[in-house]
Structure 1
Amino acid sequence: MSEHDKIILPEKYYLDYFRYLLSFVKSKYATLLDERETKFIEEFEKLSEDAQCLYVRINNRKGKFFRRSKLHYPEISDLLAAHSDLLAAGYCHVPHVLSIEEAYGLINAYTKPEITQKLKGETVAIDWKLPKTELILQIIETVSQEAILGYFYDGDDLITQGKEEEWAMIKLFFFGHNHGDMSDFVIRDIGHARFIDIDESKLGLSFDTRAEAEAIMQLYNHSRDFMILEENGEADLILQWFESLDIRYFLSLEKAKSNADKLIHRVGYHLEKNKYYPEALFIYQHSTASPMRERQIRIYNKQKNLTSARQLAQEILLAPNDNKEYYIAQDVINKSSQKLKSTTLRQKSGIEISLSPAYQYRVEEGALAYFSAQGYHGVHSENSIWRSIFGLVFWEEIFDPQYNTLHQPLQRNPTDLYGRDFYKNRKEALHQRLTLLKNKKQIIKCMQTNYDQNHGVASMFVNWEEAIMEASIRLVTFLSLKQIKNTLLVIALDPKTRSSGFPDLFVWNETEYHFYEVKSPTDHLSEKQLFWLEHFDQQKINAEIVLVRWG
């Protein structure tokens, strides 16, 4: 986009977005909102426009404490009056108690010289030579909370954001997760991203019950609490904290389960990393989701508990969660007869090429130059080609609103894309699509049509670069119909884990093509990569490992 084509947003664009979001949530989630959230929306609508603007402005900034003297918003005619309105309505407040995080934010609102000046009368020994971050932490440790408020809270200058819990829940209902960002509206409207165009009346709900949303919010808060425990919490303290969470309740809620699994993994891995192996095992055993069983096997191996490792590996092989888990379990079972891991064995079968050491940090680029010198065209495609073919062939099935997996207009991907429900929900439609595509010309036409009609729309699958599209079409011309369809269905079974691990390079000339997974002398084949190499073997798709030697 040229300077002349630059999109200029309206002066109060941020307020328009905020009002839209409130209206959307009020309309779609009226039965799930509690009294405080409903009141938040209704009372906000009654505020003066200046007060609304000021609240949204501070809401969009990081932190909770802001110096009015440092704020400059030309569109707000009377900042002092707007602040007074927010105080009267409770959207700003005067703090009387501070958490550690809030105490840090309050002090951090000032410069280091200002902090020094304010604490001149403090008798507690403070090392003023410390960097600002460390200085603030020392102040929090040595100065009472009451004194911190007395020194740093200036009611004439400080604006303190209020109603954070209500806003956090409202935003959660809109985005469906805790990391939703209002900047997505800006990204969309200035043309830096396109989102799928869908009739809002066809959008489903992010949550079916209030309990699901509250569980997601609680897990988010627990995750933040664990950040503090990670720094200085002993194993016993962490276990005590974890057991107070009622993690089984969170695991029982379908929409909270993945968040609970992430927290379990995070806590377990922290303990494992610090060699609290029995405690880590206890944590991991709360879930069978990946990578919990894999981590347990690693601990059993460290403890020389081969019986438990083998028993768990056998359980995994009956129903593996993903490729990595499968190969790790397989290696445990085969350990007595096979000295090397499956990935290592496969890597040893690769072909060797010699590259200049100048490519040491650009190994794929060097390999591409090597094959180019032999008359091949090629791209460093990695996952892009197969992902793009999948995303373009199944575009309508991925974004079909009938599966209740699209919930808001800024959504990049359907919510079931991250689990096996994707295939379960769409099995009939996916197979029907492949049945309708009776030859490769029809596949290419389907890809080209969706590429042209949806170019630039945010998608985890499609790479919109022209070179990747050209390479994708070239690959389709080389492969058989069966090879293409079988590979697409394998991805569809588990798009989250099976849309990665593809070989680094795709090269071709007029008569042949190859996929190459490029490995430098210090690089190792992953389980995901081995999975696709074995799949390509079965389908007779040309794919090899290239072992680079520095010549």
Structure 2
Amino acid sequence: MATDSPPDSVSGVPYYLLNFERALAWLAQRYDDLLDPHERAFLGTFAVLPQASRALLVRMLMRKGTLFRASRLTYDEIGCPLQAAAPIAALGWLNAAPHLTLDDLFALATRAELLDVFSPTLALIPGARSLRKPELLVALRPFYAGADAHESVSRPARPWSAWHGATTDCVYRVDIAPLCERLRLMFFGNLQQDWSEFVLADLGVFQYEKVAFPPSSRAFQQRADVNVYLALHACREELELIESSSLLFEGNEENAAIGDLLARVRAIEISNPWLETRRAKLLFRIGQHGERRQNWRAALAVYEACAWPGARHRRMRVLERSECFSEAFALALQAAASPESEEEAQRVARMLPRLRRKLGEPAVRASAARAAERSTLVLARPQAPQPVEYVVRDHLTCESAPVHYVENALINSLFGLLCWEPVFAALPGAFFHPFQRGPADLHAPDFHVRRAGQFASCLAQLDSGIYRETIARHLHEKAGVQSPFVFWGLLTPELVSIALDCLPAAHLKLWFERLLRDIRGNRSGLPDLIRFWPAARRYELIEVKGPGDRLQDNQIRWLAYCVQHGMPVRVLDVRWAGEVGVEEIPPHATPTVEPAA
């Protein structure tokens, strides 16, 4: 759908309108069985509206909010907004005289206009004319109770002309917006992406892999699925409102609001596994809110019924915080025997000794895994602030052993280039539209299982040497195409070539297998730097820690994995010369790496 250098219009049709019409045609073709009469009527009627009217509506849909002043809808390709809006308003899609609350008015009017509108009232407020807009709104609220939807109804909302009698402007409200939001959801499969995706693709900002879209790949297989998504989205927005307004709630009021929200989330009937996953994530967030408010009973009840990864560990933490040590210990033992992930195993290993002490249980000596080599590097503090990783890279690199700052980018990218086909396999529930960076089920528990054969074929190339050709081919053919694994901004043919020369295929395979075991947890935490010795065809991974910095859990897990499999990896603790406890470096001396104590 993208073009290399799109014009501002095609045959006189603005590109944004053309793209919107393509999206409507896509929906009519793929979702006709899920559309109701109002949606079908919109598709048919929109197509026969004057071009200026269609363009104006799309312009408004692409902007934030649903309220617009006509004077701010000036576009060369549309002309007079009043004329363009008339046919849309006649259909009831636009309201040309919506009633505005005080908040609505403040969002639309300038400060100068507000001072004019409220001149008589401002005379009663000392210093009001020097207030900024937010302060002015607060000062006016007591005089206009009912102008805000959350207050009493003594002074109801009113049209723009009633607020500002001297104006010749008018305000439109896009009443068709909810219907169009539903269509946007059906097209993208989410409400995070908007119609600007078309524009970014047309301008060449983003390129997307071309994937087949059989009917089975639709995001929604029945109309009820769309309703479920919107219901879950509304509940999520309500949770965010409660979280942002928690200081305004009394304890019992907030508990009642959370309890009502939780009941509604649980009552939603869901038959779609993908949507059930979304509910699990929302329940997890509700449980986290309970934890933050130290409502242990509510948090525990949510986590017990939540299938989102990490919920079992949160249950242990809540039981421990509420001093139910026996229950926490029993659950921790269960998790230790069968952890859901390396992350949970790591957390449980830390929790069990603490729980044993609290219960008076005998300590169990755990076998300590061999730690990564750790050294201290003393350097002169750079004159200009820059990341410590860059300072170390520049200090260590040399012609015979170049050092690159890669962090999570290199190994993820090599994996993405080798396994391009399985990542972009057109499986049901994976790809819904042409603007996806990766499959929708990327973090689903069965992501690998559903593509196991294809991934196995890719990884088998590491045993035969073919993998180099595959990676080089995808590096060339897919350059710039969006991928959840490939970091195009870092990759160069030279970096990929030296990496494939120096990284053993056996190590690549081990890294890729670990990525596939837990993509959500293992795509991050890799060491910051990689040093190559091209002549010897070897490498070293280096994790850099500046003063006061410490290893994160995901970094510890990656380091342990590398050590376990005999990969060259170490941690460098950087200290700045001249700081307390750090030996000063003589002028012009070469900083050295000293063994850690």
TM-score (norm 1): 0.88
Structure 1 counterpart of 2:531: 507
Gaps of 5+ in 2: 148-154, 357-362, 578-597
In the alignment, the residues of structure 2 paired with residue 341 and residue 71 of structure 1 have an alpha-carbon distance, to the nearest angstrom, of 69
- Report the more deviating stretch, 38-47 or 239-248: 239-248
Q: Which has the higher helix share?
A: 1
In the alignment, the residues of structure 2 paired with residue 318 and residue 312 of structure 1 have an alpha-carbon distance, to the nearest angstrom, of 10
Contact 2:406-2:490 within 8 A present in 1 as well: no
Structure 1 counterpart of 2:289: 270
1:292 and 2:311 are equivalent in the alignment: yes
Using a 3 Å threshold, how does the CA distance of structure 1 residues 155 and 85 change in structure 2: closer, same or farther?
farther
In the alignment, the residues of structure 2 paired with residue 43 and residue 63 of structure 1 have an alpha-carbon distance, to the nearest angstrom, of 23
Q: Which amino acid aligns with 1:133?
A: P
Structure 2 counterpart of 1:222: 235
Contact 1:7-1:190 within 8 A present in 2 as well: yes
In the alignment, the residues of structure 2 paired with residue 114 and residue 322 of structure 1 have an alpha-carbon distance, to the nearest angstrom, of 59
Structure 2 counterpart of 1:206: 219
Gaps of 5+ in 1: none
Using a 3 Å threshold, how does the CA distance of structure 1 residues 122 and 41 change in structure 2: closer, same or farther?
farther
Structure 2 counterpart of 1:518: 544
Using a 3 Å threshold, how does the CA distance of structure 1 residues 193 and 342 change in structure 2: closer, same or farther?
farther
The structure with the largest alpha-carbon Rg is: 2
Structure 2 counterpart of 1:149: 158
Using a 3 Å threshold, how does the CA distance of structure 1 residues 197 and 19 change in structure 2: closer, same or farther?
same
1:62 to partner: Cα distance:
0.9
1:475 to partner: Cα distance:
3.3
Contact 1:65-1:106 within 8 A present in 2 as well: no
Contact 1:386-1:472 within 8 A present in 2 as well: no
Structure 2 counterpart of 1:464: 488
Trace 1:100-499 onto structure 2 (pairs within 5 A): 104-122=103-121, 129-136=130-137, 139=140, 142-145=144-147, 146-150=155-159, 151-152=162-163, 157-199=170-212, 204-230=217-243, 231=245, 232-233=248-249, 234=251, 235-247=254-266, 249=268, 253-335=272-354, 336=356, 337=363, 350-358=374-382, 362-372=387-397, 376-440=401-465, 442-465=466-489, 467=491, 470-499=494-523
Q: In the TM superposition, what whole-angstrom CA distance separates every residue of 1:198-255 from its partner, at most 9, and x where no partner exists?
A: 3556882111222222111112122222232221334323323323413263676422
Contact 1:212-1:255 within 8 A present in 2 as well: no
1:25 and 2:44 are equivalent in the alignment: no
Structure 2 counterpart of 1:544: 570
In the alignment, the residues of structure 2 paired with residue 483 and residue 368 of structure 1 have an alpha-carbon distance, to the nearest angstrom, of 23
Contact 1:194-1:456 within 8 A present in 2 as well: yes
Contact 1:68-1:158 within 8 A present in 2 as well: yes
In the alignment, the residues of structure 1 paired with residue 35 and residue 454 of structure 2 have an alpha-carbon distance, to the nearest angstrom, of 35
In the alignment, the residues of structure 2 paired with residue 420 and residue 159 of structure 1 have an alpha-carbon distance, to the nearest angstrom, of 46
Q: Which amino acid aligns with 1:132?
A: K
| Number of aligned residues | 541
12, 18, 43: which is aligned to 1:41? Answer: 43
TM-score (norm 2): 0.82
Contact 1:323-1:528 within 8 A present in 2 as well: no
Contact 2:371-2:560 within 8 A present in 1 as well: no
Q: In the TM superposition, what whole-angstrom CA distance separates every residue of 1:304-334 from its partner, at most 9, and x where no partner exists?
A: 4432332232333355444332211121124
Q: Which amino acid aligns with 1:195?
A: Y
Q: In the TM superposition, what whole-angstrom CA distance separates every residue of 1:273-312 from its partner, at most 9, and x where no partner exists?
A: 2333333333333313133333333334434443233223
1:377 to partner: Cα distance:
0.8
Using a 3 Å threshold, how does the CA distance of structure 1 residues 223 and 201 change in structure 2: closer, same or farther?
closer
Q: Which amino acid aligns with 1:131?
A: R
In the alignment, the residues of structure 1 paired with residue 365 and residue 158 of structure 2 have an alpha-carbon distance, to the nearest angstrom, of 64
In the alignment, the residues of structure 2 paired with residue 268 and residue 342 of structure 1 have an alpha-carbon distance, to the nearest angstrom, of 34
Q: Which amino acid aligns with 2:380?
A: S
Contact 1:364-1:505 within 8 A present in 2 as well: yes
Q: In the TM superposition, what whole-angstrom CA distance separates every residue of 1:174-211 from its partner, at most 9, and x where no partner exists?
A: 10111112111111111111111235568821112222
In the alignment, the residues of structure 2 paired with residue 252 and residue 44 of structure 1 have an alpha-carbon distance, to the nearest angstrom, of 33
In the alignment, the residues of structure 2 paired with residue 206 and residue 18 of structure 1 have an alpha-carbon distance, to the nearest angstrom, of 19
- Report the more deviating stretch, 403-412 or 6-15: 6-15
1:39 to partner: Cα distance:
2.2
Determine helix, strand or coil for the equivalent of 1:462: coil
Q: In the TM superposition, what whole-angstrom CA distance separates every residue of 1:416-459 from its partner, at most 9, and x where no partner exists?
A: 2122222111001111233345433x211110001111100011
In the alignment, the residues of structure 2 paired with residue 469 and residue 457 of structure 1 have an alpha-carbon distance, to the nearest angstrom, of 16
Contact 1:195-1:411 within 8 A present in 2 as well: yes
1:267 to partner: Cα distance:
2.9
Q: Which amino acid aligns with 2:551?
A: L
- Report the more deviating stretch, 132-141 or 497-506: 132-141
In the alignment, the residues of structure 2 paired with residue 270 and residue 312 of structure 1 have an alpha-carbon distance, to the nearest angstrom, of 22
In the alignment, the residues of structure 1 paired with residue 548 and residue 490 of structure 2 have an alpha-carbon distance, to the nearest angstrom, of 33
Q: In the TM superposition, what whole-angstrom CA distance separates every residue of 1:70-108 from its partner, at most 9, and x where no partner exists?
A: 22111113321221211111211256667xxx7533431
In the alignment, the residues of structure 1 paired with residue 478 and residue 59 of structure 2 have an alpha-carbon distance, to the nearest angstrom, of 33
In the alignment, the residues of structure 1 paired with residue 393 and residue 344 of structure 2 have an alpha-carbon distance, to the nearest angstrom, of 32
Identity %: 23
In the alignment, the residues of structure 1 paired with residue 22 and residue 371 of structure 2 have an alpha-carbon distance, to the nearest angstrom, of 54
1:63 to partner: Cα distance:
1.6
In the alignment, the residues of structure 1 paired with residue 407 and residue 200 of structure 2 have an alpha-carbon distance, to the nearest angstrom, of 27
In the alignment, the residues of structure 1 paired with residue 33 and residue 260 of structure 2 have an alpha-carbon distance, to the nearest angstrom, of 33
Determine helix, strand or coil for the equivalent of 2:33: coil
In the alignment, the residues of structure 1 paired with residue 227 and residue 498 of structure 2 have an alpha-carbon distance, to the nearest angstrom, of 49
Q: Which amino acid aligns with 2:54?
A: Q
1:504 to partner: Cα distance:
0.9
Using a 3 Å threshold, how does the CA distance of structure 1 residues 340 and 114 change in structure 2: closer, same or farther?
farther
Contact 1:346-1:530 within 8 A present in 2 as well: no
1:470 to partner: Cα distance:
3.6
Using a 3 Å threshold, how does the CA distance of structure 1 residues 200 and 316 change in structure 2: closer, same or farther?
same
Q: Which amino acid aligns with 1:24?
A: W
Q: Which amino acid aligns with 2:228?
A: A
1:76 and 2:103 are equivalent in the alignment: no
In the alignment, the residues of structure 2 paired with residue 252 and residue 218 of structure 1 have an alpha-carbon distance, to the nearest angstrom, of 14
Using a 3 Å threshold, how does the CA distance of structure 1 residues 276 and 385 change in structure 2: closer, same or farther?
same
Q: Which amino acid aligns with 1:278?
A: R
In the alignment, the residues of structure 2 paired with residue 123 and residue 288 of structure 1 have an alpha-carbon distance, to the nearest angstrom, of 55
The CA RMSD measured in Å over matched residues stands at: 3.1
